[in-house]
């Protein structure tokens, strides 16, 4: 393979959940920029999702909308029976929801919703996509965070749900490797994103994070999207069930 061909996703079909804006939108644009047709999943932000599709098309790629509430199994099934019925090569589960608060203050409904969207939705999507993924030796990439393995302030249910997501990534990775499907994840450090800026202590956390990060800056959506792209290529064939940490080295200094 040539350096160009190994990253060529032409003819591949990719679903990115939670892709209307932020990290998901950047991942969608990255995969489309390398030739994949990207299905942009969203729940409520249809205008933002349309903007993502428009940006992909204006850049020369192809994309379409795939609306679904990932907390509802019936809507997940309908998404795969509708926009995705022709097949799927790449599934990127990026959608996430949760309240920034300590675990002991999380309400039962907040806990349930975080688990349903952040972790269970990956399982539901894989179950629906598996016949298509197995036919095409597909890829599944779960987007996690450092809070899945470490205690982060005010990250309660989100962090626990990310831990469940990483555990599910390990199990699916082992179970599906024999069927030619590679399941892995990527965990980013603190990213400069609108959703992350909603953290109540964001302004206080940033200087300390930069100080403790050997690379000397916050992470960007592009940093994570490039790892996702790598996991979609044959270069990652020997990686199974792993969650790659992309945090500029910060977690090594804790």
Active site residues: 155, 162
User: CA-to-CA distance for 101 and 251, rounded, in angstroms?
Assistant: 22
User: Token digits for 170?
Assistant: 């390990």
For the record, the structure tokens of 54 come out as 């428009």
Residues 84, 110: Cα–Cα separation, whole Å: 29
Is residue 46 within 8 Å of 21, Cβ to Cβ? no
Tally Cβ neighbours within 10 Å of residue 244: 18
Q: Which two tokens stand for residue 249?
A: 């080295």
| Distance between CA atoms of residues 250 and 206, nearest Å | 12
State whether residue 13 is helix, strand or coil: strand
Report the interhelical angle of 156-177 vs 108-115 (nearest 10°).
30
The position carrying tokens 């894989």 is 126
d(CA 130, CA 79): 14
β-bridge partners, 62: 37
């Amino acid at each position: 393979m040539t350096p160009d061909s190994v990253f060529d996703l032409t003819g591949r079909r990719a679903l990115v959940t939670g892709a209307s804006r932020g990290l998901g939108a950047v991942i969608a644009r990255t995969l489309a920029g390398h030739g994949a047709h990207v299905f942009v999943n969203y729940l409520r932000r249809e205008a933002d999702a349309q903007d993502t599709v428009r940006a992909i098309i204006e850049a020369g790629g192809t994309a379409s909308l795939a609306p679904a509430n990932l907390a509802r199994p019936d809507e997940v099934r309908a998404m795969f029976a509708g926009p995705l019925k022709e097949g799927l090569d790449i599934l990127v589960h990026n959608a996430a929801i949760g309240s920034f608060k300590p675990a002991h203050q999380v309400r039962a409904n907040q806990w349930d919703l975080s688990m349903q969207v952040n972790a269970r939705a990956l399982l539901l999507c894989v179950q629906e996509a598996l016949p298509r993924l197995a036919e095409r030796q597909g890829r599944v990439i779960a987007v996690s965070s450092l809070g899945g393995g470490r205690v982060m302030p005010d990250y309660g249910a989100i962090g626990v749900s990310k831990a469940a997501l990483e555990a599910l990534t390990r199990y699916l990775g082992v179970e599906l490797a024999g069927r030619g499907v590679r399941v892995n994840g990527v965990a980013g450090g603190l990213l400069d994103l609108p959703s992350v800026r909603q953290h109540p202590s964001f302004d206080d956390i940033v200087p300390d994070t930069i100080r403790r990060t050997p690379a000397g800056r916050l992470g960007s959506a592009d940093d994570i999207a490039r790892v996702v792209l790598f996991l979609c290529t044959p270069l990652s064939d020997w990686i199974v069930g792993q969650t790659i940490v992309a945090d500029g080295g910060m977690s090594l200094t804790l």
